[in-house]
Structure 1
Amino acid sequence: MNFEKARFNMVEQQIRPWEVLDQDVLDLLMTVKREEFVPAGARALAFAEVEIPIGFDQVMLKPTIEGKLLQAVQVNKTDSVLEIGSGSGFFAALLAGHAEWVRTIEIEPALVRLASANLARNGVENVVVIQGDGLEGWAERAPYDVIVVSGGVREIPQALLEQLAVGGRLFAFVGAAPVMKARLVTCEAEGRFRTEDVFETVVPMLRNALDKASFKF
């Protein structure tokens, strides 16, 4: 398989037509090697517009959704980033490409090991993978300029909003099948948030997502 051609086609034929036009985002998707983060038996699907199962009822998101998410949060070189749900480590690698540093939290020990190994093998040095329940956030390094919730939640946990810096952006998939809202929340001032629903989709729910106290807009 010609991975470089497949990567180019993914960006130009799938992601760009879905109104992902930020050139920095497109360049990043051309740079980070998606095929290095998929399960060995799924490398032929690395650039297909499908969710790729990685075990434990979790998946790698579709490339178009990854592109839309990156464009929405607008990560900057000085940003501190918290990701909830490490998965294979691929999206953490994308975030790290534009951020100063990333903390990514994963509840499943096997996925912590997988993400850590994938990131190390691909030379991503500004990401730390932490085992824990990410829906509680990671107060040790708060506040964060960007928080990304990489799986579904019924509502956005209050703990995450409290760890978002003024001017910070939080992205989450909110709701339940058959339709979820891909929601961008911006902290305009302490305790004041602006909400925008960017698109509709369906993604797997995060473990424990139904058990957490949440903030309702």
Structure 2
Amino acid sequence: MATKEEMIEQQLKERGISDPKVLQAMEEVDRSLFVPEDQQEKVYEDRPLPIGKNQTISQPYIVAYMAEQLQLDKNEKVLEVGTGCGYNAAVISRLAKEIHSVEIIEWLAELAKQNLAKTDYDNITAKHGDGYSGWKEVAPFDAIILTAAPPSIPQPLKDQLKIGGRLLAPVGRLNQKLVMVYKTGEDSYEEQTLLPVRFVPMTGRADKGGTYNK
């Protein structure tokens, strides 16, 4: 049974996670609050774990890696698309001023709210909805992170980024890649591919070739 200390040292530091703020966030957030009772012995293993109905909590390394790539600071507002069980939102909340998270699966959105209520983090707002459209009422965002893979990055999410903001997302269906998008102007972007990944596909409008009117 892996310990939290082994997770930090072996799964994160030894694999290149070096940002002290990210390492502190991974240390601070209690992953056991987001994992079902029958998975508690595996809570700090470096792999996804089942949380019910074919859904999983992401492995610690990919959570830390994505958080480190975003280079967040305490003055920033973040949108997360795909709350899942709430673990990633909890980690991001330690690095940013506020995080707004959208989950398309209703029971998961409710589970995330229950899990997050076990923490004392007061800068997370979560709701049930289709994250394809972002969260226009609280936009624009300094950063946007997706935890499910669309075939291509939804335009409304790009529109809701501040100029100078960045969006991190797994993209693709069969062969997925983790992509960072930088918003360089009102309608201009730069894109960087980071590494191959495997995430659950984004559903809802993203699955239907969703259309969007600005």
Match of 1:41 in 2: 38
Match of 1:185 in 2: 181
| Aligned length in residues | 211
Give TM-score scaled by structure 1 length: 0.92
**1:60: Cα distance to partner?**
1.2
In structure 2, the CA distance between the partners of 1:214 and 1:59, relative to structure 1 (3 Å rule), is farther
Deviations 1:134-158 (A, max 9, x none): 1111100111001011111111001
* Cα distance between partner residues in 2 of 1:199 and 1:171: 12
Deviations 1:128-185 (A, max 9, x none): 11110011111001110010111111110011000011111101000123x3111111
**1:57: Cα distance to partner?**
3.5
* Cα distance between partner residues in 1 of 2:43 and 2:5: 12
2:13 match: secondary structure = helix
Give TM-score scaled by structure 2 length: 0.93
Give 5+ residue unaligned stretches, structure 1.
none
Bigger fraction of residues in strand: 1
Q: Is 2:108 aligned against 1:111? A: yes
Is the CA contact (8 Å cut-off) linking 1:171 and 1:183 kept in structure 2?
Answer: yes
Match of 1:74 in 2: 71
The one-letter code sitting in structure 2 at the alignment partner of 1:105 is V
Match of 2:199 in 1: 203
1:156 match: secondary structure = coil
Give the counterpart of 1:148 among 145, 148, 164.
Answer: 145
Match of 1:18 in 2: 15
- State percent identity of aligned pairs: 31
Runs of 4+ that moved beyond 3 A: 212-215
Is the CA contact (8 Å cut-off) linking 1:76 and 1:99 kept in structure 2?
Answer: yes
Give the counterpart of 2:57 among 56, 60, 69.
Answer: 60
Deviations 1:186-216 (A, max 9, x none): 111211111111111111112223224389x
